[in-house]
Chain A
């Protein structure tokens, strides 16, 4: 018999094992193969885009970048299941989801290339930009869900807010405060924890003594689930159910998606300082892209020819985006000032003139002419 303290550990939802073999009866939506193929294609394109971003950093053409290598499934499925007027509150490792939302890769590259205009285009809709201070977006998501609920008309389906975070974020008070509110107010929000086992150099086991991270949601009265974050079928099941709950006005859900960060924390990090290679090799065996490819292969839905065609298409899309990014003209000096206030204070008007003059002087302009 289990002791009291051993009870209530949720089982991780999983349909495909590491080899892409089916572990239990598949849900009926998978019989329509379009969705699974779309997931696969999106993940491959995102991975190519991600690896291109790393290459741009390595060749001095872009700044520090946090790769999403190994986590493509979570971000892709989340974004695919949202409707256009739902709101995505991403964390900074969500390139696949941003692309799935229709945000051009060139925007994302522009952002990591040090340019605020990367978060500015209409393609972003009302989605929030990348969030760098850890877990602060948890509150924004609760606020967005509150706004949705305030404006909601009875009888209509609700818009949904979906907030992504990492395992480290679950240690912050912001996360706890946001879950507490989401439970109290039954907010239409889904929190998805990308548990990639590492918060820079701190492994999951010394991040929290809680057996699962999702159970922090239980304390807030929220249904909370653990799912294999490298299994698109399990992700689709758990996330779509959570989104539907929110849409029907039944409140928030916390999902912990178990995955692994196959890359360094960012391009400025060297994970070999704190992580042993055997763990990494083992994690590569479970990664999501290979798993889905093998599943599709087994079903006769994918072959080498399709793979080559997809890679070629990915390269084409990515090259066009990279070209777009690299050809983006530098921002104007005025941009430094023009977006702080709708009504610019006198001090900033004056400092803007000063900045332009400084620039002129540095270029050997006014003073020397």
Chain B
């Protein structure tokens, strides 16, 4: 049996199924209990699983990460919600100094199978500090995994996999597309692999690589390019770390061209890592320089200006056509 669900409903269903499957899975965060989370990602779960497994914490992000480390080190599987990615920074010390290192610093005696979920990204006219995309900060940390779904189906499958994973996973949910569309999700869906990119559209002339909410504009760009007689392949990276470079390399070796699209600011971003990987391993196959269509190296603007910051479909189309000029 399948149900049509939005991304946020798929996130909810994934946690519901994970909790039913494993009594060690515990949810915690601010306003996730009675209120069901400010985006309703945990709606109904407290009633279903009780106060001991769906826990409203005090308003303290350092603590949320700290207790998650302690809980995970004793064998629970905490799935913690940080209400917005803009408030994740007090948790950084715990993630970097402890969650990411626990297995290594005890040579496997203890581990830290936690998931930290956070809605992220711009485009919903949110208050200040609510719209950043800082996935690269986390991707730089040894010991973490960073996962970003771009559809309800992948949100479900990747979150199930993230909760099953024996190591810490930062699970970033692009809130701009939380309710963008409904997709059929089978009740018996399997977790998706956490080390694999997804090829959303097969093409021959240029590879478009993106993740999160930008996948929407990237897919739109691919269909506009068809109108120009250009066949674009679209890859959803999905798992930022560890990065599945093989899928991207195989595609770029075929097309010879690559445009990387992300909301986060450009310099030192995940796009730079992908571009470097292409230079190292597909240099001879590249017919033109890799293009990046990204946010700017500015502060994520408050919402009156955010549209000027976010990459648009036509930016992706133009960059793609530019790669075809060579």
A and B: interacting chains: yes
Residues of A whose CB lies within 8 Å of any CB of B are 87, 89, 116-117, 119-122, 124, 126, 128-129, 132-133, 136, 138-150, 161, 173-174, 177-178, 180-181, 184, 335, 339-343, 345-348
Contact of B94 with A139 in the complex, beta carbons under 8 Å: yes
Contact of B166 with A143 in the complex, beta carbons under 8 Å: no
Contact of A139 with B63 in the complex, beta carbons under 8 Å: yes
Q: How far is the CB of B264 from chain A (nearest CB, A)?
A: 20
Cβ of B224 under 8 Å from chain A: no
For chain B, residues 142 to 175, give those with C-beta under 8 angstroms from any C-beta of chain A: 142-143, 145, 165-167
Q: Which residues of B contact A133 (CB under 8 A)?
A: 93, 97-98
Q: How far is the CB of A170 from chain B (nearest CB, A)?
A: 15
Contact of B74 with A177 in the complex, beta carbons under 8 Å: no
A150-B53, A340-B143 known; A136 and B103 CB under 8 Å? no
Cβ of B18 under 8 Å from chain A: no
Q: Which residues of B contact A124 (CB under 8 A)?
A: 106, 109
Contact of B243 with A347 in the complex, beta carbons under 8 Å: yes
Contact of B65 with A139 in the complex, beta carbons under 8 Å: yes
Given contacts A126-B74, A144-B73, 7 further A-B contacts (CB under 8 A): A117-B107, A124-B106, A139-B69, A177-B60, A180-B58, A180-B60, A184-B58
Q: Which residues of B contact A146 (CB under 8 A)?
A: 55, 67, 70-71
A346 to B244 Cα, complex, angstroms: 8
30 pairs, CB–CB < 8 Å, chain A vs chain B: A119-B106, A120-B108, A133-B98, A136-B66, A136-B94, A140-B66, A140-B69, A141-B70, A143-B66, A143-B69, A143-B70, A143-B71, A144-B73, A144-B74, A146-B71, A148-B74, A150-B53, A150-B71, A173-B62, A177-B60, A180-B58, A181-B60, A340-B103, A340-B104, A340-B143, A340-B167, A341-B103, A341-B145, A346-B195, A347-B243
Contact of A140 with B98 in the complex, beta carbons under 8 Å: yes
Residue in B closest to A121 when the chains form the complex, CB atoms: B109
Contact of B63 with A335 in the complex, beta carbons under 8 Å: no
Q: Which residues of A contact B106 (CB under 8 A)?
A: 116, 119-120, 124, 129
Contact of B26 with A150 in the complex, beta carbons under 8 Å: yes
Q: How far is the CB of B271 from chain A (nearest CB, A)?
A: 17
Q: How far is the CB of A191 from chain B (nearest CB, A)?
A: 13
Q: Which residues of A contact B242 (CB under 8 A)?
A: 345-348
Contact of B67 with A143 in the complex, beta carbons under 8 Å: yes
Contact of A341 with B143 in the complex, beta carbons under 8 Å: yes
Interface 1/0s, chain B 216-252, versus A by CB < 8 A? 0000000000000000000000000111111000000
A140 to B73 Cα, complex, angstroms: 9
Cβ of B105 under 8 Å from chain A: yes
Which of A89, A116, A117, A181 sits near B63, CB closer than 8 Å? A181
Contact of A335 with B195 in the complex, beta carbons under 8 Å: no
Which of A139, A161, A345 sits near B195, CB closer than 8 Å? A345
Interface 1/0s, chain B 48-90, versus A by CB < 8 A? 0000110101101011011111111111101000000000001
Q: Which residues of B contact A141 (CB under 8 A)?
A: 70
A345 to B26 Cα, complex, angstroms: 26
Cβ of B110 under 8 Å from chain A: yes
Q: How far is the CB of B297 from chain A (nearest CB, A)?
A: 26
Q: Which residues of A contact B195 (CB under 8 A)?
A: 343, 345-346
Contact of B97 with A136 in the complex, beta carbons under 8 Å: yes
Interface 1/0s, chain B 102-134, versus A by CB < 8 A? 011111111100000000000000000000000
3 A-B pairs with the lowest CB-CB distances in the bound complex, closest first: A139-B66, A143-B70, A345-B242
Contact of B57 with A174 in the complex, beta carbons under 8 Å: no
A180 to B145 Cα, complex, angstroms: 30
A145 to B74 Cα, complex, angstroms: 10
Contact of A342 with B107 in the complex, beta carbons under 8 Å: no
Interface-central residue, A87, A128, A148, by most chain B CB under 10 Å: A128
A146 to B195 Cα, complex, angstroms: 32
Q: Which residues of A contact B244 (CB under 8 A)?
A: 346
Residue in B closest to A111 when the chains form the complex, CB atoms: B105
Q: Which residues of A contact B243 (CB under 8 A)?
A: 347
Q: Which residues of B contact A181 (CB under 8 A)?
A: 57-58, 60, 63, 67
Q: Which residues of A contact B109 (CB under 8 A)?
A: 119-122, 124
Contact of B142 with A340 in the complex, beta carbons under 8 Å: yes
Interface 1/0s, chain B 8-41, versus A by CB < 8 A? 0000000000000000001000000000000000
Which of B70, B94, B98, B167 sits near A144, CB closer than 8 Å? B70
Contact of A147 with B104 in the complex, beta carbons under 8 Å: no
Contact of A346 with B67 in the complex, beta carbons under 8 Å: no
Contact of A177 with B111 in the complex, beta carbons under 8 Å: no
A140-B98, A144-B73, A181-B57 known; A341 and B167 CB under 8 Å? yes
Contact of B65 with A120 in the complex, beta carbons under 8 Å: no
